[in-house]
Amino acid sequence: MDVTIDTSAILAVCTNEGLKPRMVELTVGARLLAPVSVHSEVGNALSAMLKRERITLAQALACLDAYKQIPVKWLEVDLPHAVQLAHQLDLYAYDAYLLACAQTSRSPLLTVDKALMRAAREVGVQTLEVYV
């Protein structure tokens, strides 16, 4: 089974948040997919946490070490389709890329972003239920 994974889920796993066991359970045996933009988003999210002093540099680097261990197949997205989704759902492009990736691969989306979950359902993308 393929699963499209977003930055919020990756960071939750890499930072050992409480949802990590559930996300690991949901993805055992799955091939993880993500648009190539997620790679940059991980760096951006960590730099934002550093800027706000929510994490230390050592914690950010440890998170990146954990991130490198997650096997993700990086996919290009159809930009016109993603822009249409962004317009239709009033989303930022990065969220639309995830939905386009999930639609193209016909895979469910793993995210802890509740707004993205709602948008996914609006366009028929299945989401994996992290919150139990």
Report the predicted TM-score, pTM, of the whole model to 2 decimal places. Answer: 0.93
CATH of domain 2-122: 3.40.50.1010
Domain boundaries, the chain: 2-122
Q: How many CB atoms lie within 10 A of CB 41?
A: 19
77 vs 102: CA distance, rounded Å = 10
Phi, psi of 74 (to 5 degrees): -85, 130
Q: 23-56: per-residue pLDDT in tens?
A: 999 999 999 999 999 999 999 999 999 999 999 9
pLDDT at residue 64 greater than cutoff 90? yes
Contact present, 123 and 116 (Cβ < 8 Å) = no
